[in-house]
Amino acid sequence: MNTYFTEAFQRLPNEEREAYHRTVFMQMDTENKTGYLDIGARVYLGTGCCLHGHQGVEIGDDTLLAQNITITPFSHKFDDPSIPIIKQGGHSRKITIGRDCYLGKCVCVLWSADIGDGSVIGSGSVVVKPIPTYSVAVGVPARVIRHRGKSPPPPA
Ligand SMILES: CC(C)(COP(=O)(O)OP(=O)(O)OC[C@H]1O[C@@H](n2cnc3c(N)ncnc32)[C@H](O)[C@@H]1OP(=O)(O)O)[C@@H](O)C(=O)NCCC(=O)NCCS
């Protein structure tokens, strides 16, 4: 497996880099030689997280990812039943997770989603659409149930 890391990641002290490698599985697109992970300062990544690089995953400063979270900026196409799905290519885009976010255990973030600064995602949620800043979102698919602070949630 080839891995591609940002300069900032490479500048981390050895022991911090090794800690990430021990606890988190990071997969890059070795075929197209693309993909990167840009992980901010003081980010916590729980054990068993799986970050697929592909078009890139960016995580802002002070964000907390609990255990067994999957971030997957790629999805296979399957429109043509006469071609094996594995040969049909896929959709891919960069996923951005803001700063000071909290993702509960077993959250899955799909290629079509981003998470705004300060948002909280309940454990077990599947995030398929962009989550606005300072939201609390839960469920499958994840829906905003309230905002952190006084502003009301946006219309569904
Ligand atoms: C989302 C969470 C942060 C709670 O947020 P909250 O704003 O206090 O939400 P509440 O507990 O008041 O629940 C509000 C509603 O969301 C529902 N809800 C809460 N968490 C949910 C979840 N993970 N999935 C689906 N629904 C959830 C509640 O049942 C409730 O529904 P109701 O209004 O129909 O009764 C919390 O439930 C959670 O998932 N925390 C993550 C825990 C975790 O992973 N810990 C690991 C630490 S490293």
Mean pLDDT of 97-101: 96
Q: How far apart are CA 64 and CA 69, in angstroms?
A: 11
Residues known to be catalytic:
76
In a domain, 127, yes or no: yes
In a domain, 114, yes or no: yes
Domains of the chain: total: 1
In a domain, 125, yes or no: yes
Confidence of residue 1 (pLDDT cuts 50, 70, 90): very low
Q: Mean pLDDT for the chain?
A: 83
As a whole number of Å, the CA-based R_g of the chain is 16
In a domain, 24, yes or no: yes
Domain that holds residue 12: 3-147
Residue 27 is predicted with a pLDDT of 60
In a domain, 111, yes or no: yes
Q: Which of 47, 65, 145 to mutate to test the pocket of ligand 1 (most atoms within 8 A of CB)?
A: 145
Q: How far apart are CA 143 and CA 156, in angstroms?
A: 8
In a domain, 152, yes or no: no
Give the distance (Å) from ligand 1 centre to CA of residue 123.
7
The DSSP code sequence of 40-68 is -TT-EE-TTEEEE-TT-EEE-TT-EE-TT
Q: How far apart are CA 95 and CA 109, in angstroms?
A: 8
Q: How far apart are CA 13 and CA 113, in angstroms?
A: 31
In a domain, 121, yes or no: yes
Find the residues whose C-beta lies inside 6 A of ligand 1.
46, 66, 104-105, 120, 122-125, 136, 138-139, 145-146
Q: Which of 47, 68, 123 to mutate to test the pocket of ligand 1 (most atoms within 8 A of CB)?
A: 123
